[in-house]
Amino acid sequence: MFVGHYGVGFAAKAVKKTIPLWQLFIAVQLVDIAWATLVLFGVEKFRIVPGITAASPLDLYYIPYTHSLLAVVIWSLAAMVIYRFAVKRSTWLVAGVIAVTVLSHWLLDLLVHRPDLPLYDNHMKVGLGLWNYPVLSFALEALCLFGGMFFYYRATQPVGGRGRYAMIVFGLVMLGVQSTALFSPPPPSANAVAVMALVSYFLFAAVVYWLEKKRA
């Protein structure tokens, strides 16, 4: 899953309004940020195999440090502790929200991945495989994204005219980026995928940092 993860960030913002939305955008993709970084360093590995699923050509055959369930639990707990002590005026409750957003990544990935998500190390791989059904998986992404945004809109108010629709337009743009990737040729290399992923994660966080100022 890609843009659907951000729906959890929007919903978490509605639950705990003191957390900046850009931080939640980083939290929901922390696992993939770590994955892309480890791919660039040659620690985790995948192959580009066109047709391995209908919606993704990535054969994620070795991702134990970021996408095993055990690893994600550790990432979540680490994020909670670091956030609690690194962010001023943070509480364990706020840090717990961060931990849940990090953990949500694996749970949503479980729905769409083929059985390539290990439970621990590189063993006992699971995945329900919705990426084999592009229309269904894309609809799930849109539902997660705009479902979370619905709760965010209920919990905030626009500041000026642009604040009313800007975030919705941004959501449509994110879906557009995902649909473009779905119908584009396979990427040239694993490193190219990792770099593009990192750029998109931090770009989306930067955009939402600016857009959040238009709602209060």
22-60 tens-digit pLDDT:
999 999 999 999 999 999 999 999 999 999 999 999 999
> Could you tell me the CA-to-CA distances from 195 to 26, 32, 54, 153, 200 in Å, in that order?
16, 11, 22, 32, 9
Task: Give dist(CA 211, CA 164) in Å, integer.
Answer: 11
How many CB atoms within 10 Å of residue 188? 9
Boundaries of every domain in the chain: 5-214
Torsion sign over Cα 68, 185, 201, 11: negative
> What is d(CA 127, CA 142) in angstroms, rounded to the nearest whole number?
20
pTM reported for the whole predicted model: 0.95
3 state SS of 127: coil
pLDDT at position 150 is 97
pLDDT for 195 = 97
For tokens 């892309």, the residue is 36
**DSSP summary character for residue 159:** S
Mean per-residue pLDDT, 120-131 = 96
